[in-house]
């Protein structure tokens, strides 16, 4: 229980009166009487506050929230007692959430109910529990305040903010293609119309082998059919420490997940199966699947993934994916690499290229591009620009090396990633390389 400002101000009045009592004896008795009455009032107000019942409270909030967005929350208070309740309302939440429009003052009359509305923003994905509502009760005469926590647990799942995915889904087919600068193309597959012969690839079913052609050439040859729609796309998602880097206060990890979900939607519309494997901090395998709800399916498996403080092991990830993904697929590595990762990344690409078509989507921080646009005004700025130029040159050299090994490298910022991924995917589909 805490004394209010009102109580402290009233108490301070007795100090000069106590000093005056030594000088004016006739008022001493009156002073003692007033002090006694004041103490009785203070004690009575404290007792009444202590006996004030806690109101009942329920929290209305969506079970699924988008990360880094403001979401409405309603606290519903019910006072079933015959006493008025005055209080300041807070809401207890963890370090990974923020609130606005709190605290709020609330007066609950006897046998009444009222709502408190505010906004909540989750700053990290995953499961979040809001355990209690924190209230600062005020005594009837306003001399005391008492903090009470009212149990009110809400479990919330914080997901990637895939607003762009839904906006893209609402567009017509022509609008989608125009937005991304794409063209439609024929798809190949396991239809009934023969398309061409090609060299056997690991994972091809035996029924697709053309034994006559294989006998003539001396190696296994597979048949390929027109209108195949079950090609496979697998994201190799880096969850290491560099994916914690931010642009405009948003982690690369969050921006990458949004891009992945967007491309998953596009690929599903093309009839392709989509899956992902996370490596680094989190290790998750979601095999490629083809169905209308693929975006939600991926979301259920990736919403809790977070970038950690560990270094990502590209080679180990590639070895694991080769074991898991037997059929040829388009493998898109989503990462934020450095020159020190070059050897490990090159070895990973060499392993994956034995079976898969490999794309490396390599992010860099937007401030690096801004740095190169500056005109240095002093030695320190010149040194920063020179360092940035050297970093970007090493980055280009690494990408050239990866291209030489058969990978397709995408060098972009996190903001550029969605359109870059979709355009590259459509280019690959159009070329028939997959």
Domain pair 1-159 / 163-187+229-431, same fold:
no
- In the prediction, which pLDDT does 173 show? 47
Q: How do 56-60 and 70-79 pair as beta strands?
A: antiparallel
- In the prediction, which pLDDT does 384 show? 85
pLDDT tens digits in sequence order for the chain, 434 residues long: 787 777 777 777 666 655 555 555 566 667 677 777 878 888 998 888 888 888 999 999 999 988 888 999 999 999 999 989 999 998 877 778 889 999 999 999 999 999 999 999 988 888 888 888 999 999 988 888 999 899 999 999 998 877 655 565 545 444 554 554 444 444 444 444 455 677 877 767 777 788 888 888 888 888 765 444 468 999 999 999 999 999 988 899 999 999 999 999 999 988 899 999 999 999 999 999 998 889 889 999 999 899 999 999 999 999 999 999 999 999 999 999 999 999 999 999 999 999 999 999 999 999 888 888 878 878 888 888 888 899 999 999 999 999 999 999 999 999 999 889 999 998 898 777 77
- Closest residue by Cα to residue 87 from 150, 153, 139, 141: 139
- Closest residue by Cα to residue 149 from 135, 129, 131: 135
Contact criterion met (CB below 8 Å) for 224 and 183: no
CATH of domain 1-159: 2.60.40.10
- In the prediction, which pLDDT does 14 show? 63
Token pair 């202590």 is at which residue?
50
- Closest residue by Cα to residue 423 from 180, 241, 198: 180
Rounded CA-CA distance 280/311 in Å is: 6
Sorted by sequence, the CB contacts under 8 Å of residue 219 that are 6+ apart come out as: 199, 200
Contact criterion met (CB below 8 Å) for 313 and 345: no
Rounded CA-CA distance 37/41 in Å is: 6
Contact criterion met (CB below 8 Å) for 94 and 128: yes
Instruction: Give the torsion sign (CA, 49, 51, 52, 53).
Output: positive
Contact criterion met (CB below 8 Å) for 425 and 266: yes
Q: Could you say which DSSP state residue 55 is in?
A: P
- In the prediction, which pLDDT does 108 show? 94
**Boundaries of every domain in the chain:** 1-159, 163-187+229-431
CATH of 163-187+229-431, one of 2.40.10.340, 3.40.50.410, 3.40.640.10, 3.30.70.260: 3.40.50.410
């Amino acid at each position: 229980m805490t004394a209010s400002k009102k109580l402290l101000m009233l108490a301070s009045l007795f100090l000069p009166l106590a000093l005056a009592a030594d000088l004016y004896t006739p008022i001493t008795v009156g002073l003692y009487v007033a002090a006694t009455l004041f103490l009785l009032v203070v004690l009575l107000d404290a007792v009444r506050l202590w006996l004030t019942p806690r109101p009942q409270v329920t929290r209305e909030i969506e079970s699924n929230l988008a990360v880094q967005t403001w979401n409405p929350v309603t606290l519903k208070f019910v006072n079933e007692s015959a006493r008025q309740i005055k209080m300041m309302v807070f809401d207890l939440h963890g370090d990974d959430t923020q609130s606005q429009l709190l605290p709020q003052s609330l007066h609950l009359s006897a046998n009444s109910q009222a709502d408190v509305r505010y906004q909540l923003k989750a700053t990290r994905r995953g499961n979040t529990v809001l355990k209690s509502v924190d209230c600062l009760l005020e005594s009837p005469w306003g001399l005391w305040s008492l903090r009470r926590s009212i149990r009110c647990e809400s479990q919330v799942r914080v997901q990637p903010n895939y607003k762009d995915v839904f906006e893209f889904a609402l567009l017509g087919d022509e609008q989608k293609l125009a937005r991304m600068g794409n063209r439609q193309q024929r798809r190949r597959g396991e239809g009934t119309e023969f398309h061409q012969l090609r060299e056997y690839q690991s994972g091809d079913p035996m029924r697709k082998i053309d034994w006559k052609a294989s006998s003539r050439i001396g190696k296994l040859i597979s048949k390929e059919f027109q209108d195949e729609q079950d090609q496979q796309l697998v994201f190799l998602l880096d969850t290491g420490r560099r994916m914690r880097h931010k642009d405009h206060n948003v982690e690369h990890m969050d921006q990458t997940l949004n891009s992945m979900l967007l491309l998953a939607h596009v690929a599903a519309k093309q009839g392709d199966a989509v899956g992902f494997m996370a490596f680094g901090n989190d290790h998750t395998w979601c095999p490629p699947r083809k169905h209308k709800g693929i975006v939600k399916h991926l979301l259920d498996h990736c919403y809790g993934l977070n970038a950690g403080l560990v270094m990502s092991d590209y080679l180990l990830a590639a070895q694991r994916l080769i074991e898991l993904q037997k059929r040829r697929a388009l493998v898109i590595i989503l990462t934020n690499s450095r020159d020190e990762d070059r050897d490990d990344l090159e070895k990973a690409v060499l392993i994956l290229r034995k079976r898969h078509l490999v794309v490396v989507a390599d992010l860099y921080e937007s401030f690096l591009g801004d740095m190169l646009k500056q005109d240095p005004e002093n030695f320190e700025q010149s040194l920063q620009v020179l360092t940035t130029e050297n970093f970007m040159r090493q980055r280009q050299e690494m990408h050239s090396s990866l291209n030489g090994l058969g990978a397709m490298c995408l060098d972009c910022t996190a903001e550029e990633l969605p359109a870059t991924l979709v355009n590259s995917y459509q280019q690959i589909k159009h070329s028939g390389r997959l």
